[in-house]
């Protein structure tokens, strides 16, 4: 498990700053949900952080909160849009199968 100093250095390298509460010594961090909601005072130990990040939490508010428009990707041929990469791939294959 990473030490407090290691966590702090790793975050600092990425331009983030976290506070260690003097009473508990536990690192706390504010993370943001994909929909933009701030989640203050989350435990910032490496295990917790990894699980939060794996769930899509970020250190900074998302530029485009994904409340409704989750990760929309677009076909650059016809403008078809989807949130599903596989669906877009299947769609792109249709273009190629009808000669583009």
Residues of this chain that bind Zn ion (CB under 5 A): 75, 77-78, 80
Q: Which is nearer to Zn ion, 26 or 78 (CB)?
A: 78
**CB 68, min distance to Zn ion, A:** 22
Q: Which is nearer to Zn ion, 11 or 75 (CB)?
A: 75
Q: State how far the Cα of 33 lies from the Cα of 82, in Å rounded to an integer.
A: 21
Q: Which is nearer to Zn ion, 60 or 78 (CB)?
A: 78
Q: State how far the Cα of 93 lies from the Cα of 100, in Å rounded to an integer.
A: 9
Q: State how far the Cα of 74 lies from the Cα of 52, in Å rounded to an integer.
A: 28
- Backbone torsion region of residue 85, taken as left when φ is above 0, otherwise alpha when ψ lies between -120 and 50, otherwise beta: alpha
**CB 7, min distance to Zn ion, A:** 44
**CB 71, min distance to Zn ion, A:** 18
């Amino acid at each position: 498990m990473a030490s407090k100093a290691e966590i702090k250095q790793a975050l600092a390298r990425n331009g983030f700053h976290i506070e260690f509460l003097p009473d508990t010594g536990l690192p706390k961090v504010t993370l943001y949900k994909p929909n933009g909601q701030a989640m203050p005072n989350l435990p910032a130990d490496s295990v917790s952080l990894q699980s939060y990040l794996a769930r899509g939490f970020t250190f900074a508010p998302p530029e485009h909160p994904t409340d409704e428009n989750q990760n929309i990707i677009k076909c650059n041929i016809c403008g078809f849009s989807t949130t599903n990469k596989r669906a877009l791939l299947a769609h792109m294959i249709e273009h190629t199968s009808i000669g583009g």
